[in-house]
Amino acid sequence: MLVKWMRCNVVDRREFERGQRKWARLRGEPGFRGQGGGWSRGRPGVAHVFAFWETRAFYDSFMARSHDRLASAQSGTYRNLRAQLFAHRFDVKTGFEPGFTDADVVRVAHCRVHEDRVEHFSLMQSKVWNPAMAGSPGMVRGLFGEAPGNEFLVLSMWQSAAERGKYRVERVERLSLRAQTEADIAALAGDVVQLDPSWTV
DSSP secondary structure string, 41-86? Answer: SSSTTEEEEEEEES-HHHHHHHHHHTHHHHHGGGTTSEEEEEEEEE
Q: What is the pLDDT of residues 137-150, one digit of tens each?
A: 888 999 999 999 99
Q: What is the pLDDT of residues 44-99, one digit of tens each?
A: 999 999 999 999 999 999 999 999 999 999 999 999 999 999 999 999 887 889 99
Structural domain range at position 6: 2-199
What pTM does this model have? 0.92
Q: Identify the CA nearest to 120 among candidates 200, 192, 180.
A: 180
**Please, which pLDDT band fits residue 182 given cuts at 50, 70 and 90?**
confident
Distance CA 88, CA 143 (A): 7
Any residues with CB less than 8 A from the CB of 72 and at least 6 apart, and which?
none
Domain count, the chain: 1
- How many Cα atoms within 13 Å fall on the side-chain side of residue 40? 17
Q: Please check the confidence at residue 174 and state whether its pLDDT lies above 70.
A: yes
Distance CA 109, CA 117 (A): 17
CATH number of 46's domain:
3.30.70.100
